[in-house]
């Protein structure tokens, strides 16, 4: 029997409008004007009903970090933790590590392809620029080898999605072309590249920029850097909208310059979904305090952020219309990974939904048509 979700405004992926969302098993049947006679009604108390949020950069959650030791059970726990926070689809993200750890995680991910909420993998490094390492371990950063290239291309053929963050200066344009031809989503980040180097990478197939403005060459009067190149080309840009990684005024400038293809990421770490106030990352202590995650020297190390909170920041501090902010956490990231069945309420899309209050707090979550929260 179909389920009819009523009582909230509906964001369909583009606009907010009145209506009743009809779920038919694991799929969306459509949006109706009233509850059908053959449906079971679930009445919501105001707010907005949106497609399940999509997070393409999740380093951890439920007290766990993504690593070479991550198990299928760990992945399930992390996916579940983020689903409770509104993100029903995610890319677990491994930051710079050694080849053995990367290979083990790829094997675990391949065995976890059918896990609810699991979209694939995001490998953030190790092919980065140590000058823009951020919290990545400098001793593990290295240029891409033929063996690395073969491993990534092979994984891309098996995983539902593989995103790789790399620096143009740690790879060649031929390697980028090969990765893209194999189906890898190449994202530029942790890079001190010039405008010309960034353009060469984009022309080779790179289609994203990782956490815009963070760990990348900046805009200057005579050199756009990676940040300026990302804003003035058609590549997609991830944004950590916590008001800490990027100032609200700078976010406003960026969103005025780039009106499409910006998507929100949480860049969440192990504490997501817990009250944990510190954890270890590669033998280094990460502290959680006042909405920040930092190394003991103050370097930002991921974010203490959820996607609903990022939407709140965009609306309240940046002045972004709610429809645009919601699209940046639903349809935009789904489009980046080529998932037209996610991030929108179209017929036969996956029945992932999040009910947000008028204060944009998570009130309920459905994953694959079943109430999860």
Q: What is the tens place of the pLDDT at every residue in 215-248?
A: 999 999 999 999 999 999 999 999 999 999 999 9
Q: What whole-number distance in Å separates Cα of residue 34 and Cα of residue 15?
A: 18
Tell me what the mean pLDDT of segment 165-193 comes to.
98
Q: What whole-number distance in Å separates Cα of residue 110 and Cα of residue 174?
A: 26
DSSP letters spanning 302-348: SB---HHHHHHHIIIII---HHHHHHTTTHHHHHHTT-TTSSS--TT
Tell me what the mean pLDDT of segment 154-181 comes to.
98
Under the banding of pLDDT at 50, 70 and 90, the label for residue 107 is very high
Average pLDDT over all residues of the chain: 97
Under the banding of pLDDT at 50, 70 and 90, the label for residue 283 is confident
For 141, the token pair is: 């950063």
Q: Are 85 and 52 in contact (CB under 8 A)?
A: no
Q: What whole-number distance in Å separates Cα of residue 347 and Cα of residue 27?
A: 8
DSSP letters spanning 14-29: S-EE--EEEEETTEEE
Q: What whole-number distance in Å separates Cα of residue 148 and Cα of residue 142?
A: 11
Please state, in angstroms and as integers, the Cα–Cα distance from residue 107 to each residue in 20, 67, 152, following that order: 42, 12, 12
Taken in order of first residue, the domains within the chain and their CATH numbers are: 3-50+346-371 (2.30.40.10), 53-336 (3.20.20.140)
Tell me what the mean pLDDT of segment 357-365 comes to.
98
Phi, psi for residue 157 in degrees, rounded to 5 = -75, -20
Report the chain's C-alpha Rg in angstroms: 20
Q: Are 254 and 224 in contact (CB under 8 A)?
A: no
Q: What whole-number distance in Å separates Cα of residue 231 and Cα of residue 257?
A: 7
Instruction: Tokens 């579940």: give the residue.
Output: 80
Catalytic residues: 267
0.85 exceeded by pTM: yes
Under the banding of pLDDT at 50, 70 and 90, the label for residue 302 is very high
Q: What whole-number distance in Å separates Cα of residue 289 and Cα of residue 168?
A: 34
Q: What whole-number distance in Å separates Cα of residue 307 and Cα of residue 349?
A: 21
Question: pLDDT tens digits for 119-132?
Answer: 999 999 999 999 99
Q: 12: Cβ–Cβ under 8 A, 6 or more apart, which residues?
A: 31, 51, 344, 345, 346
Question: pLDDT tens digits for 30-42?
Answer: 999 999 999 999 9
Q: Which residues of 315-348 are buried (b: 16+ CB within 10 A; e: fewer)?
A: bebbebebbbbbbbbbbbbbbbbebeebbbbbee
Phi, psi for residue 32 in degrees, rounded to 5 = -115, 165
Q: What whole-number distance in Å separates Cα of residue 14 and Cα of residue 326?
A: 9
Crossing angle (nearest 10°) for helices 99-111 and 72-84: 70
């Amino acid at each position: 029997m179909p389920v009819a979700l009523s009582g909230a405004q509906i964001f369909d992926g583009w606009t907010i409008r009145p209506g009743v969302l009809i779920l038919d098993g694991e799929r969306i049947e459509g949006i109706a004007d009233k509850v059908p006679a053959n449906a079971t009604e679930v009445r919501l108390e105001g707010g907005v009903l949106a497609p399940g949020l999509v997070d393409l950069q999740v380093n951890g959650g439920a007290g766990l970090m993504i690593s070479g030791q991550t198990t299928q059970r760990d992945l399930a726990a992390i996916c579940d933790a983020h689903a409770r926070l509104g993100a029903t689809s995610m890319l677990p993200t491994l930051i710079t590590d050694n080849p053995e750890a990367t290979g083990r995680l790829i094997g675990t991910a391949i065995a976890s392809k059918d896990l609810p909420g699991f979209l694939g993998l995001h490998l953030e490094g190790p092919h980065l620029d140590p000058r823009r390492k951020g919290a990545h371990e400098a001793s593990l950063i290295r240029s891409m080898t033929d063996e690395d290239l073969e491993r990534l291309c092979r994984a891309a053929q098996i995983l539902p999605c593989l995103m790789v963050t790399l620096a143009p200066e740690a790879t060649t344009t031929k390697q980028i072309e090969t990765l893209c031809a194999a189906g890898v989503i190449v994202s530029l980040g942790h890079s001190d590249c010039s405008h010309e180097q960034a353009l060469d990478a984009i022309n080779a197939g790179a289609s994203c920029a990782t956490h815009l403005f963070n760990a990348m060459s900046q805009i200057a009067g005579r050199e756009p850097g990676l940040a300026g190149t990302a804003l003035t080309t058609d590549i997609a840009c991830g944004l950590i909208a916590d008001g800490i990684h990027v100032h609200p005024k700078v976010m406003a400038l960026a969103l005025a310059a780039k009106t499409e293809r910006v998507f929100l990421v949480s860049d969440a770490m192990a504490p997501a979904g817990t009250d944990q106030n510190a954890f270890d990352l590669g033998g280094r202590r990460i502290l959680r305090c006042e909405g920040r995650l930092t190394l003991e020297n103050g370097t930002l190390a991921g974010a203490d952020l959820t996607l609903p909170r990022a939407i709140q920041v965009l609306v309240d501090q940046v002045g972004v219309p709610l429809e645009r902010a919601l699209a940046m956490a639903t349809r935009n990231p789904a489009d980046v990974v080529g998932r037209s069945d996610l991030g929108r309420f179209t017929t036969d899309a996956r029945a992932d939904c999040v009910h947000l209050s008028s204060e944009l707090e998570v009130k309920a979550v459905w994953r694959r048509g079943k109430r999860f929260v």
